[in-house]
A and B are shown apart, each in its own frame.
Chain A
Amino acid sequence: MGMTLSQKILARTGGKREVAVGDVIWVEPDLFQLHDLVLPHYLDTLKSYGIDNIRYPERCVVFADHEVPAQTVRVAAIKRQFRNQLADYGITQFHSEGNHGISHQAIVEQGYVLPGMLVVSVDTHVTTLGCVGALAPPINYEAIQALAMGEIWLKVPDTLKVVLTGKPRPGVYSRDIAQHVIARLGPERCDYKVIEFTGPAVRDMNMDMRMTLCNVTVDVGAKSGIIAADEVTATYLRSRARASFELLQGDPDAVYAGVVEIDLGELEPMVAVPPRPDKVVGLSSVAGIKVDQVYIGSCAGGRMEDLRAAAEVLRGRRVHPDVRMIVIPTSQEIYVRASEEGLLRDIAAAGAVVGAPSCGPCYGNLAPLADGEVCIGTGTTNIPGRMGSAQASIYLSNAAVAAASAVAGCITAPDSLAKEG
């Protein structure tokens, strides 16, 4: 019987010819994606167990991402000590301030992640890496053991195939598609499964859009999102890949847990309302809600697609005087490209604050919300307390809607802003 793409990846990394859905097996990941928020504690923990080596230091890729640059002396001290810890354990692939980005973005840009790889991470939205045809499930505290042993157990997941067809209408972005998909599928259907996106509309999507789609799958409990590598992938990786790769595909006779077809031509801009990212409504039903802060950034939405959309809305307009608007490109590479295109100039000229790449507001340590405040933006999730006070409300939307809301001072569709407003 044929295997899905995910089965093939798990069979190879588990050293087996084939694996069946439901098998629980030991696998050796190709990469361990790590960041400087938790790795210092994990390495300390290993040390406290008397474990002085990790199995595959050359498979570890580390990014500065949660607090860049350091905002407190405490974090500065951790970062200083961190370099010694990495050296101790023989980890050399560390992308620190200025050569960094949110890890899920930067690890792809920097050509580490290739089609058919298995990557594990201590950070939930690692599912983003499915954009190049890699399988990338998050793990938690077990990362400590996984680093030491170079292996981890995984259950071979069922795959739910999501076939995207049709052409999105103007004003509908990858975030809208992503929010629609997770709301439509729901946690019951996605739990423990891999969501594989395919179909003619996916073939037309660039890497930014593919990242957003795979990113959100974890928010409904999926093990990962994945898009089999194609010509778009090959073109994207041509100047980036650190090794050769094949465009690995699932077998034609592989068995899927289900197939869902979605016509993108039917979608409108979608907004996730508190308290969960899969609680999604059409934009029209939340229009008019007053906002205090607007945020464009995160691993779900600070890429070129988002910055272009925001700049287009903001060009020639001003952010509402009662609104703080924070814009954070997802990586240093995006920051440079957005500045070359003049996007950051347009965004800053409109009165938004442009920050250095980091998880920042989406992790709640930068620009936290006060009790009772309302934020709309492109962060990953809207669970209470995610961006500061648990008494604040977070709405998630595409970047154009977020930017239009910043101008109007309330949740607004971009095309309802007055011309030259």
Chain B
Amino acid sequence: MDWLWHGRAWLFGDDIPNDEGIMPLRMCRQQIYDAVVLAQACFEQVRPEFADQVRPRDIVVAGRNFGYGNPHIQGFLGLKGAGVGVVAESMSRGPLRACINAGVPLLLHPGITSVVQDGDPIEVDFETGRLTNLRSSVSVQCDPMPAVMREIVAAGGGIAHMKQRLSALP
């Protein structure tokens, strides 16, 4: 997998919830698991233009506590469907696991929203953790994605990884 991404930064503030933030809760109630369908509803309540304008390999740059609340998989599957990666100031345990399980690459770095403005072109290396703002030329070193998480994201998410892993087991 190519871990070096170039894309537009989509900037979000602190405390964007998973339900009714990343994804309308109705998509959970309707038990929708199709990432392409879910992508059409991503950030509907907080950023209605996102679904139409986002391009694969764009980066969601979010504040603290991104995706908090019940870690329903729909929100993160929606991000997967949109083809984006995430760089956030912080995420709690449940959403972080859901993000990796959906196959969305992720970096966490406190202070990241102060070096990126909405719409900036940025370059993110999820393997080394280096993020560069191509507008301002400011570069930031984040903790890289741990190998285990990259293994799952590279496989395409938790379920795809499981299938690979099972075929390798004796």
Seen from chain A, the residues whose Cβ lies within 8 Å of a Cβ on chain B are: 23-26, 49, 51, 55, 139-142, 144-145, 148-149, 153, 155, 187, 191-192, 221, 223
0/1 interface trace, chain B 140-170, chain A, CB 8 Å (1 if under)? 0000001111001000001101110110010
A25 to B90 Cα, complex, angstroms: 21
Smallest CB separation, A248 vs chain B (Å):
24
Asked if B159 and A221 sit within 8 Å, CB to CB, the answer is no
The residue of chain A having its C-beta at the shortest distance from the C-beta of B149 within the complex is A24
On chain A, the residues within 8 Å of B148 by CB distance are 24-26, 153
| 10 additional contacts (CB under 8 A) given A140-B73, A144-B159, A153-B148 | A55-B169, A140-B94, A140-B98, A141-B158, A144-B162, A148-B166, A149-B162, A153-B149, A191-B92, A192-B92
On chain B, the residues within 8 Å of A153 by CB distance are 148-149, 152
Q: In B16-43, which residues have CB < 8 Å from any A CB? A: none
Smallest CB separation, B78 vs chain A (Å):
15
Q: In B34-88, which residues have CB < 8 Å from any A CB? A: 71, 73
Asked if B163 and A49 sit within 8 Å, CB to CB, the answer is yes
Chain A contact residues: over half helix, strand or loop, or mixed? loop
Asked if B165 and A149 sit within 8 Å, CB to CB, the answer is yes
On chain B, the residues within 8 Å of A144 by CB distance are 159, 162
Q: Give the one of A51, A55, A148 with max B CB within 10 A.
A: A148
Asked if B97 and A139 sit within 8 Å, CB to CB, the answer is yes
A51 to B159 Cα, complex, angstroms: 11
Given contacts A24-B147, A49-B159, A148-B162, contact A191 B101 (CB under 8 A): no
On chain A, the residues within 8 Å of B161 by CB distance are 145
Q: What 7 A-B pairs are tightest by C-beta distance, nearest first?
A: A24-B146, A145-B162, A24-B148, A153-B148, A192-B93, A145-B158, A221-B92
A41 to B149 Cα, complex, angstroms: 26
On chain B, the residues within 8 Å of A49 by CB distance are 159, 163
Asked if A140 and B162 sit within 8 Å, CB to CB, the answer is no
Asked if B71 and A140 sit within 8 Å, CB to CB, the answer is yes
On chain A, the residues within 8 Å of B94 by CB distance are 140
- Can you show 22 pairs from A to B with CB atoms below 8 A apart? A23-B146, A24-B147, A24-B149, A49-B159, A51-B166, A140-B71, A140-B73, A140-B97, A141-B73, A141-B158, A144-B159, A144-B162, A145-B159, A148-B162, A153-B148, A155-B146, A187-B92, A191-B90, A191-B93, A192-B92, A221-B92, A223-B93
On chain A, the residues within 8 Å of B98 by CB distance are 140-141
Smallest CB separation, B141 vs chain A (Å):
16
Smallest CB separation, A152 vs chain B (Å):
10
On chain B, the residues within 8 Å of A191 by CB distance are 90, 92-93
A191 to B165 Cα, complex, angstroms: 30
A416 to B146 Cα, complex, angstroms: 57
Asked if B73 and A221 sit within 8 Å, CB to CB, the answer is no
On chain A, the residues within 8 Å of B159 by CB distance are 49, 144-145
On chain A, the residues within 8 Å of B149 by CB distance are 24, 153
Select A142's contact among B92, B97, B163, B169, beta carbons within 8 Å.
B97
The residue of chain B having its C-beta at the shortest distance from the C-beta of A139 within the complex is B97
A55 to B158 Cα, complex, angstroms: 17
A60 to B140 Cα, complex, angstroms: 45
On chain B, the residues within 8 Å of A142 by CB distance are 97, 101, 158
A67 to B148 Cα, complex, angstroms: 37
A3 to B169 Cα, complex, angstroms: 31
On chain A, the residues within 8 Å of B158 by CB distance are 141-142, 145
